[in-house]
Amino acid sequence: MSTPASLPRLTRHALSALSQHVLSPGHAAWREPSIGIVHLGIGNFHRAHQALYTEEAMLAEGGDWGICGVTLQGDVAKRNALMEQEGVYSVVERGPEGAKVTVVRALREVLAMPHDHDALFARLADPSVRIVLLTVTEKGYCRNAKTGDVALDNPAVVHDLSHPHAPRSVPGILVAALRQRRDAAREPFTVLSCDNLAHNGAALRQVVCSFAREFDPALADWIAAEVAFPSTMVDRIVPATTDSEHATVAAALGYRDAAPVPCEPFRQWVIEDRFPAGRPAWHAVGAQLVDDVTPFELAKLRMLNGTHSTLAYLSMLGGFATIDEAIADPAMRNLIHAMMTEEIAPTLNMPASFDVADYRDALLARYANPALKHRCAQIAMDGSQKIPPRLLGTIAARIDAGQPFTRLALAVAGWMTFLRGYADDGSRYDISDPLAENLKALAASANGDPRALMDALLGVREIFTAELAAQPAFRAALLHALQLLQDNGARAAVAALQ
Ligand code: CS2
């Protein structure tokens, strides 16, 4: 077989030879759309999720919803790789039955901030852009955890307040772009957060309005009155790209793709239907357009992301590299099953048509997918941002109901213990988190004493409210789990609390 390096590069021109790898059966012929969406945070997740739905929606019902994707980290290499391919790239769906390769065409342009500042703001001023989508991860929101307003001590926010015309932060970019629209008396775009935050639309609206209020209160009022920030729940497991995707794509297409994306076959998108400037026909291709996303968001955050983070931290300690390896362990599987059934599901308030046991079983089957190789180290990143929405809300609900939560407490204890920087067998790993330096120092200061570790970390107000940190049932369950992890290691702690 030829190596990927010796093959011609994938471009739009190659597509005529690849008809079985582009979406089309039952759909109309593809017509290259002009740009109607700007997407901030063009990582793997967007390319395997919203970009695909949008392409299918255009095939189903037309519309000019081509995507301009923006990398906010100045990733010029990624921009160039995708632009050399004229925006096309492949999605590799990996299921137990094998791989399916689809070449996606909805992405029409890629920009890298801050280099392409002028091009981005020209796009954002253009009235044909009617939606700005975001997948910028939890930390991209620059929120003050206590108030929900913009975090005025965040370095990117500090920068943007003194350079409002050269913004770098997500709130700074959105406010500058909306100011252009208002000053030109143009209709605003709709802002659609696609990150794993509870009430993501409302959360983003508060950050953006509070940022605008810092220097232009009238603009803040205009945004609050005129701009729609629908909430949405997005779901698809999308690991980081590895060499195996390059090889799979080369073998399937006979072309070299510098930017393929792996993902699982499953996908789901629930969207609050508030798009004053219009939207693609996402409803025609499987997305659920609803009045209230909240129950779906909470179910996904607590059942999926909550157990994902649990598996990730306990696996980093106990020595499982991937989610499928971890869930193949009987004690780990029992723990996650019981955690969902007994501790998380009772906190949800779902529509009658939603069967929570089916949802749980589907999640366990998705985790067991042996082809995906979703690395626990990837999910373990940014714990300070993920622990509150994924685990602490559920724990607070259990405390309010006077119900036990030993497994949820083990998950938080797993994260606290993870911060020591080495696994139970002594092997070291890196901690990637915006608060990493502070968290590592706090964990080290405990010197292996579980109570000292708990007290040091419960004092981090960006993560734990003073109320939860002082809550006796929480402290007792956490200390018990920390002690088990410290004395016996993660595998034994899981076996004891499963
Ligand atoms: C994962 C999520 O990386 C993580 O923290 O929990 O990205 C997860 O794979 C997605 O939310 C699934 O939709």
407 close to ligand 1 (CB < 6 Angstrom): no
- Residue from 176, 184, 70, 189 nearest 120 by CA: 70
20: exposed, middle or buried (Cβ count in 10 Å: 0-12, 13-18, 19+)? exposed
Q: What pLDDT sits at residue 30?
A: 87
Q: What pLDDT sits at residue 296?
A: 96
Q: What pLDDT sits at residue 28?
A: 65
Choosing among 3.20.20.70, 3.40.50.2300, 1.25.40.10, 1.10.1040.10, the CATH entry for 294-496 is 1.10.1040.10
> Could you tell me the pTM of the whole model?
0.96
Q: What is the pLDDT of residues 402-424, one digit of tens each?
A: 999 999 999 999 999 999 999 99
Q: 418 to each of 249, 450, 476, how far by Cα in Å?
A: 36, 12, 19
The residue type of 274 is R
Pocket test for ligand 1, best of 305, 372, 378, 415 (most atoms within 8 A of CB): 305
- Give the pLDDT band (50/70/90) at residue 22: confident
Query: Would the CATH topology of 4-290 be identical to that of 294-496?
Result: no
Q: What pLDDT sits at residue 164?
A: 86
Q: What is the pLDDT of residues 80-124, one digit of tens each?
A: 999 999 999 999 999 989 999 999 999 999 999 999 999 999 999
Q: Which atom of ligand 1 is nearest to the CA of 386?
A: 5
- What percent of the chain lies above the pLDDT cut of 70? 99
Cβ-proximal residues to 347 (8 Å cutoff; 6+ apart), any chain: 298, 302, 394, 397, 398, 401
305 close to ligand 1 (CB < 6 Angstrom): yes
Q: What is the mean pLDDT of residues 315-333?
A: 98
Taking all residues of the chain, what is their mean pLDDT, rounded to a whole number?
96
Residue 2: pLDDT above 60? Answer: no
241 close to ligand 1 (CB < 6 Angstrom): no
237 close to ligand 1 (CB < 6 Angstrom): yes
Q: What is the mean pLDDT of residues 374-399?
A: 97
Q: What is the pLDDT of residues 264-319, one digit of tens each?
A: 999 999 999 999 999 999 999 999 999 999 999 999 999 999 999 999 999 999 99
| Domain 4-290 grouped into CATH 3.40.50.300 | no
Q: What pLDDT sits at residue 335?
A: 98
Q: 62 to each of 37, 56, 128, how far by Cα in Å?
A: 14, 9, 15
Domain ranges within the chain, ordered by starting residue: 4-290, 294-496
* Helix, strand counts (H, E) of the chain: 23, 11
Residue 6: pLDDT above 60? Answer: yes
Q: What pLDDT sits at residue 379?
A: 98
Pocket test for ligand 1, best of 46, 53, 195, 237 (most atoms within 8 A of CB): 237
Q: What pLDDT sits at residue 350?
A: 94
Q: What pLDDT sits at residue 27?
A: 57
DSSP string, 28-48: PPP-PPPEEEEEES-SHHHHH
236 close to ligand 1 (CB < 6 Angstrom): yes
Residue 3: pLDDT above 70? Answer: no
Q: What pLDDT sits at residue 26?
A: 57
